[in-house]
Amino acid sequence: MTRLYNDPADFADEMIDGFVAANRNHVRRVAGGVVRSTRTPDGQVALVIGGGSGHYPAFGGIVGAGLAHGAAMGNLFASPSAQQVESVVTAAERGAGVLLSYGNYAGDVLHFSRAEEKLNAAGIPTRTVVVTDDISSAPPAEKHKRRGIAGDFTVFKAAAGAAEAGYPLDEVVRVATLANERTRSFGVAFSGCTLPGAEHPLFSVPEGRMAVGMGIHGEPGIDETGVPSADELAGQLVGALLAELPEGIEEAAGHRVGVILNGLGSVKYEELFVVYRCVARLLEAAGLEVVDPEVGELVTSFDMAGLSLTLFWLDEELEGFWRAPADTPAYRKGSVAPAEQLDAAEIARTDEVPIPEASEVSQAAARQAERALAAIVTVVDENVEELGRIDAIAGDGDHGIGMQRGARAGAAAASAAVEAGAGIQTTLSLAGDAWANKAGGTSGALWGAALAALGGRLGDTDAPTGVSVSAGVTDAVEAIMAFGKAQPGDKTMVDALVPFAETLAAEVAAGHPLAEAWTLAADAASAAAEATAELLPLMGRARPHAEKSLGTPDPGAYSFALIAHAIAPVLTGGEEEK
């Protein structure tokens, strides 16, 4: 388990700060992640990778010459926000466009896709190749649904090699797409991982058993068996991968492959070498020629006990990129020509945001919004462990700490905005940006979108009324459903949010004061959140664990109901006439 930490909510930021301090010759800190500290030639396509922290060396550890130009680094097991991705891209790009590449997880797809849209709209040509190498996570007919695990590395390496070779953006995309199509991975786990501050692992494997095909966040595998010998495990891994050849390869014999035997966190290197000894023999017996194998940790999962095997089916072009030199904090190959260090001022970007003028009544409403966000922080802090416990039953257990990070960041941003004289629209918008940026993950994005939508309805001029607040909540519901694609019945926050919005609108229309209407709506949200215990999840990371979640409410719906009740007292005595 993870033993060394300060405040668990600060762990990811403190980890990144320490990582950068230890690797200044390779990386520089920017808002949202890291970029190369060395000069990249103008006109070179930039490869920006990313995902949640907790998978080192992925993702920051492989930023450097011959590999990524930047990495957007989310919180522990939480995707980086779209804002973080944009920030890293802005610092890393050199005028030839950007390739975004990351593992195929819902939160990452959500945030990176949103960033791609905004970057293209801003005039930075941006494309995406999502990694889908885990053969256990979906059948061949649904390859697009597969997870990205250690095969991330082969795709990143090929794409980076093409960029370093001067390929234009379309060609870098072609190479990365081909690399993904020719990469297959399969993994096993013997025990789960424990995040900082948690008393229990995110998931567990019965003593003396092995989960076959388990994902790096505890996603379910395809089987559970007794723990085999090292040679027996090598046979299982090789057999599974040779049973599914990439399109266009009729038989294995005669082909050249890159190989990764990847440790997931607590399997020792010595154990990996024992397994690889048999892997190498079996691949040779199958008529394959292994090229530059990698045995070690490239994509981990904190302290998870497990490993995976990746085969990268090479052609002449891909082999050149696989063997190309690289120099990063965690991965070095061959000899890379010395590169000029960038001055920190060349990388720095200002975080200052102008504050529009606002009326006095809107400024007063902003102060009330500040108090509401402070109330959210209090209720989340009081329930952070319970939210994590609920989430761990069918998810990855980080909902509590993610909500805590987001709420604290949103409240701090609101306080700064109020201090600067902002109205309620600007205050909520900045709070939403901070929430999404700090929390990461899907819930961070949804709360960010909700606050921005509510603020957009209220504006910076008029005093909020029951009618305008209710309309703003409806706008927030629409934004969340459009962004996250969830519908009532999917077992998400939407199941509590929709009845809240409908009740609020009905009570306001009936003439009730906002505080009273809000309290009744919060009661409706609580009842709806409790009812989600009888639903099966149809969206998000809990979906593969659907049966486990029966009897437990959705953590997003549950936390929303808590927050709705916490805000109600703030509205008493502070609302304007309806």
How many whole angstroms separate alpha carbon 494 and alpha carbon 487?
7
CB crowding 303-337: b at 16 or more within 10 Å, else e: bbbbbbbbbbbbeebbbebbebebbbbbbebeebe
Q: Give the DSSP letter of residue 542.
A: T
3-state DSSP assignment of residue 559: helix
Sorted by sequence, the CB contacts under 8 Å of residue 285 that are 6+ apart come out as none
Hey, which residues does 110 pair with through a beta bridge? none
Is the Cβ–Cβ distance between 494 and 480 less than 8 Å? yes
How many whole angstroms separate alpha carbon 186 and alpha carbon 133?
8
How many whole angstroms separate alpha carbon 538 and alpha carbon 525?
20
Is the Cβ–Cβ distance between 93 and 72 less than 8 Å? no
Is the Cβ–Cβ distance between 133 and 149 less than 8 Å? yes
Is the Cβ–Cβ distance between 564 and 498 less than 8 Å? no
Q: Would you list the DSSP string of 97-151?
A: -EEEEEE--HHHHHHHHHHHHHHHHTT--EEEEEE--BGGGS-GGGGGGPPPSTT
Catalytic residues: 217
CA-based radius of gyration for the chain: 25
Q: Would you list the DSSP string of 238-279?
A: HHHHHTSPPTT---STT-EEEEEEEE-BSS-HHHHHHHHHHH
Nearest to 460, CA basis, from 418, 507, 514: 418
Instruction: Give, for 90, the enclosing helix (H) or strand (E).
Output: helix 82-92
3-state DSSP assignment of residue 368: helix
Q: How many CB atoms lie within 10 A of CB 294?
A: 21
The vertex-249 CA angle with 248 and 252, nearest 5°, equals 175
Nearest to 396, CA basis, from 51, 62, 93, 134: 51
CA distances from 362 to 357, 426, 461 (A): 10, 10, 6
Q: Which residue type sits at 72?
A: A
How many whole angstroms separate alpha carbon 160 and alpha carbon 331?
13
Is the Cβ–Cβ distance between 45 and 96 less than 8 Å? yes
How many whole angstroms separate alpha carbon 388 and alpha carbon 503?
28
